[in-house]
Amino acid sequence: MDFSLTPQQEMLRDTVRRFFQTEVAPIARVCDDEERFPKEMIRQWGDLGLIGIRYPEEDGGSGFDKLGECLAREEMSRVSQAFASTWSVQAHMGLWPIWRSGTAEQKAKYFAPGLRGELVSCFGLSEPEGGSNIRALRTRATKVPGGYRISGSKMYITNSPIADFVLLAARTRPELTPEAVSLFIVELPNPGIVIHKMAKEGIRASETGLLHIDEAFVPDEALLGGQEGTYPIILECLSENRVGVAANCVGMAQGALDAAIAYARDREVGGKRIGHYQAIAHKLADMAAQIEAARWLVYYGAWRIEQNTLDAATAAKVKLTASECALHVTEQAIRIHGGAGIMRDHAVGRFHRDAFVYVIGEGTSEIQRNIIARSLSL
């Protein structure tokens, strides 16, 4: 197990860092204030090959492994988790299932343009009553001549207000079984789908929507892979994404630590910089140690994915550790800033609001602990 970075991985990390520092950092605060995402940036990501980081070169991607993806995610979130979240849904949740099991026609029509940033994707799983519990899915797809009629609701759907299509999860059979769950590629806008943009306290620049679906018609060719029962694909997508989200959490924590260190070097109280006071220095030391521990656990999770040995408990450990680390570190960064920490002029408050999202989203910390506990044979 060797986590030494290759020259190619270092180049990827530096490219993402440079882009986010020069193109995203100057607009991160105003986009957060206005709760909007500049859609044209997705095309820029496509031009740079950033959407296809994880996909094979023969399929139009850049050919990096999961560790490469995690390096990129960390650099994105170090500047803005809202922009990183938009990227994550575009690059992974909205395209990976199509790459994994779509027909040749679906890949040509949606996956390839998605990699180039010409089409914006989103993933419609979570619902108002059952959340992301696939077994509680209520959205129904009824077979009709030439296609399906879909009815239901979807909630907290990242990118949906700006998306050109949604990968929509629906039951194609009455019974509540995994085999009854299928994915559809639904082009937007659709006369049967109304999208309401939701206001959030965290990752505000990442546009999120509530979908009301009323007898929305989709043709037969919208069914992912041309077959019903794509539950395993959803599970694979979600499990692998937890490691990616953990990398995002490490990035948020690192961004907050960067800001806290800079403030501790500049701020003077009682004739000396506050970083020279042991109380502040020890906080920063603990934060740095916690981030490093979480980072290496993320790298281990990425390695397990490449070995095809990632299990649910390991993914849960990675996500739990990194998300709780981000929440704690961002809070400590605010404390180090004192009164300045709650001012909009400083990014640490935004980092903390964003970190809160990930002890809830992608599976709450309590759910992660349940998964881990089940693996202990108690």
Report the alpha-carbon distance of residue 348 to residue 326 in Å, rounded.
11
Among 118, 292, 362, 366, the active-site one is 362
Task: Map tokens 């806008």 to a residue.
Answer: 189
Any catalytic annotation for residue 362?
yes
Report the alpha-carbon distance of residue 230 to residue 97 in Å, rounded.
9
Which of 364, 363, 358 minimizes the C-alpha distance to 77? 358
Helix (H, G, I), strand (E, B) or coil at 137: coil
HSE, side-chain direction, 13 A CA sphere, residue 369: 7
Report the alpha-carbon distance of residue 183 to residue 110 in Å, rounded.
14
Helices 81-88 & 231-266 angle (0-180, nearest 10) = 160
Give a three-class secondary structure readout of 360-371.
CCCCCHHHHHHH
Amino acid letter, 178:
P
Which of 282, 292, 227, 238 minimizes the C-alpha distance to 260? 282
Cβ(94)–Cβ(114) under 8 Å?
yes
Task: Classify each residue of 317-336 as buried b or exposed e, where b means 16 or more C-beta atoms within 10 Å of its C-beta.
Answer: bbbbbbbbbbbbbbbbbbeb
Cβ(120)–Cβ(164) under 8 Å?
yes
Known catalytic residues are 362
